[in-house]
Chains A and B, each alone.
Chain A
Amino acid sequence: MDRQLSRRRFMVYTLAASTLTVAAPLACDAPPAEGAEPARRSSDVLVTGTDEEMLVLEVTAANRIVVRLPRVEVGQGVTTAVAMMIAEELDARLADIDIPLADARTQGNQYTGGSSSVRSLYGPARQLAATARAKLVTAAARLWHVPARALRTRDTKVYAPDGRSATFGYLTGYAAAIRVPAVSARPKPASRHQVIGRPTTRIDARDIVTGKARYAGDLTVAGARPTVVARPPTLGGTVLSLDDRAARAMPGVHAVVRVEGGVAVVAETFHHAFQARDALKITWAPGPLAALSDADIRRRLRAAVPRLGTPPRGSAQVEGEFEFAFVSHAPMEVLTAVADVRPTRAEIWFSSQTPMDARDSIAEAVGLPAAKVKVHVMRGGGSFGRRLDSDAALEAALISKAAGRPVKLMWSRADDIRHGRMRPAGRHRIRASLAGGRVVAFAHSTASVSTAYEGKGAVRRASFASAAGPLPSDSGLYNFGALSGDYGSVGLASIPLGAWRSVDSGTSRTAEEIVVDEIAVRLGKDPVAFRRTTLRSKAVRAVLAKAAAAGHWGRALPAGHGQGVAVHEEYGSCVACLAEIDATDPKHPRVTRVVMAADVGIAVNPRGLQAQLMGTAIDGISTVLTAGLHIDRGAVREGSYADFHYARQRDAPLRFEAHIMPSHGEPGGAGELGVPAAAGAVANAYARATGTRPRRFPLNS
């Protein structure tokens, strides 16, 4: 893997304030997502702009270190990782650091996605804290009339050789006046890290286990009443007629308003809101997909996969076609937004990965200038890409405007699963051409469902666009000779799609890893040994070797059990996964053990990284074995976790290990990394345990 230790420096500003407040520009050097603008080089990092674009650190007189983070916390642990970076360079206690989530800004990079947060914050956050530390030390030196270089920092305090100490909070006013620090403001070399790299418990863990952590639905905003929406049975269905007399006459009902997605009820409690919703008499016009079911979609996808070119003459082919169902994001916290839209201003509270886009869309939808719309970013109860889109916030704003009062909108779980969003269903055609005992060509064509907007009623939404970039296979993970790939798509009106953790790689790379196993079988080679000899990158070979050794690859297993491996490389990181499965009942297999190994460069919080890998292992198990949606005459058949079979405890591995490779390289992305490797390993384990060739996912839905 190409990994360079960056020499970038981030200029840091000191803002005029009575407390020490420093700001560092947020580099856009981690590309936010596939298809986004290319990374900026260090020479392009401009130190211009407003505080809005910056990462700002304040040392308060109460000895709190406050960094308002322009990212969202949805469980991935970004607030803990940033607190650790700050604690490291400031020599502050983690417990003294607060990382509130910043409101939507007007400029800069406030995007959470593409596994880019740590990559984009690692430089600025450390530089920021190192600068603040240098100023605090300088201030103490002047107060005490001692050389600054003689002072030490520890536990949110500055210490003098004679034992005197002062808290950062005490020094903050003096430090605010320091223009040029008398000690280095350069971040520590990785070799001196004491916090970064140390397994650390989440900074919000205690709030979570005591029930104090607050999500959008837990907020009390004056006058904001519980609100639910009656939605059509089919995707994109519309209201033909509405009789709301019975609903309006019910106790506790404040308002009934029609919105694009259906009919909203604002009531005193969610109980009253649901009851009134159920009392609405609505006739629905079916949506544009009412004639369409899974079989039709699968047929259209098959036809949409571009043909593969002619294989090299004289080569033998290993081929496969793979189908992936739609998958719901289904975060535990259903979409929830509090909106207070007034004639001249609006205020919205919700969990958003793209709050700046959300503010602009909401402003346009309610007819206010963007400057009059305030978006407060809340922690989210999971996301997996779902909160890239702001459907619920937009809907809440429109309901608030129509009802003339603040509202707390919550989608029901059935709304969430039946009305999306979903990972697009797709089909993959993969062909490896073998000659002389090796792969001489590798071709991969795919088609997936995309959203077609037709006519009026097509809402402008924060977009999900499948980037027409190169296939992951084009990155040349393996020495497979000539690589080729192509994309097709099936556009369906009103189909609610969204980027799902690891996006296209979750299906593309999974399918490829299955083919890699089948090539090994054809060549009479062991899947691990075959990968070892064909993987191009030393780092990928190393994680594979680690997972294979730790997982005892090749150990004897009873009949009906099997091991499988797969690897993946993306976001400047790489991972290998070994899964063991008990498929003695092929309809009810159990993944019993998962061993992963990852190289993400410097792992800021190894415990957090292990948690992310654990989550991707469960995603792999779920999407390969049981979790998928069905479209039945234009409607999503599933409506809750009772039929959308995301893994439960009984489906999770009894043993899970994640090994983190030691590294001093710049951090890579990690949140999505494990999905394709885990899914591929589970599919390959199932294939080896059952002697089948997995082709359609989920295997048992």
Chain B
Amino acid sequence: MTVLSVEHHARKVPMPSYSFVLNGKPVTVEAPADMPLLWVLRDLLDVTGPKYGCGVGVCRACTSHLDGGEIQPCVVPVADCADREVTTIEGLADGDRLHPVQQAWLECDVAQCGFCQPGQIMAAAALLKRTARPTDADIDRIENVCRCGTYPRIREAIKKASANG
């Protein structure tokens, strides 16, 4: 179990602690209740797969899963994650065996700069969990921004993962 806390400048303020399962392992963090999960992951736990792209739940570069459902950790307070399961891109594969969505991403060579791709992959994995055979209209509802414009390959990879899944 990892216990981490925010080092306080000048004085130590008592802070609540939250335990949750992160990528299959239990963790406990001391953090303010309203601290977004994104910064808990990145700044306290050094889990950097989820990216900051806007901080307001719009670009969705941080997309991860909470109890298997899609979330944007930049707008989810850590308190909401207590005793639940958080999965980031780092926890999607089964050891060295990639998740079918990751595998499809490789086969379609989707990524360019790669920055939004952890979020895109987590959004696609969540979509396929809800809808095994997504239509173009389903795929169109993915809001994640890709500034490199990889959208056509994302669509192709989701269909490939759907066919292989």
Contact = CB atoms under 8 A, between A and B. Distances in A.
A245 interface: no
Contacts of B92: 210
Chain B interface secondary structure, helix, strand, loop or mixed? loop
A319 to B, nearest CB: 33
A177 interface: no
B59 A641 contact: yes
Contacts of B140: 649-650
Given A75-B112, A201-B106, A209-B106, A271 B39 contact: yes
B59 A270 contact: no
Contacts, number: 199
Contacts of B154: 649
B59 A413 contact: yes
A434 interface: no
A217 B143 CA distance: 23
B72 interface: no
A618 B151 contact: yes
Given A611-B153, A619-B149, A214 B48 contact: yes
Interface in B125-143: 136, 139-143
Contact of B9 (A201, A254, A410, A656): A254
A640 B111 CA distance: 22
A75 B114 contact: yes
B58 interface: yes
A272 B6 contact: yes
A211 B112 contact: no
A215 B147 CA distance: 16
Given A211-B90, A649-B142, A334 B53 contact: yes
Nearest to B59: A641
A252 B149 CA distance: 38
Contacts of A384: 147
A379 B136 CA distance: 33
A646 interface: yes
A669 B86 CA distance: 44
B56 interface: yes
Contacts of B98: 209-210
Given A268-B7, A649-B151, A211 B89 contact: yes
B113 A382 contact: yes
Interface in B42-80: 42-44, 46, 48-56, 58-59, 61
B114 A381 contact: yes
B53 A213 contact: no
B13 interface: yes
Given A268-B6, A641-B58, A642-B58, A209 B117 contact: yes
Interface of A: 74-77, 201-202, 204-215, 217-218, 220, 226, 251-254, 268-272, 274, 330-334, 379-384, 410, 412-413, 607, 611, 614-619, 640-642, 646-650, 652-656
15 contacts: A205-B111, A208-B118, A209-B117, A268-B8, A268-B43, A271-B32, A271-B36, A271-B43, A332-B146, A380-B113, A616-B149, A648-B145, A649-B143, A649-B144, A652-B152
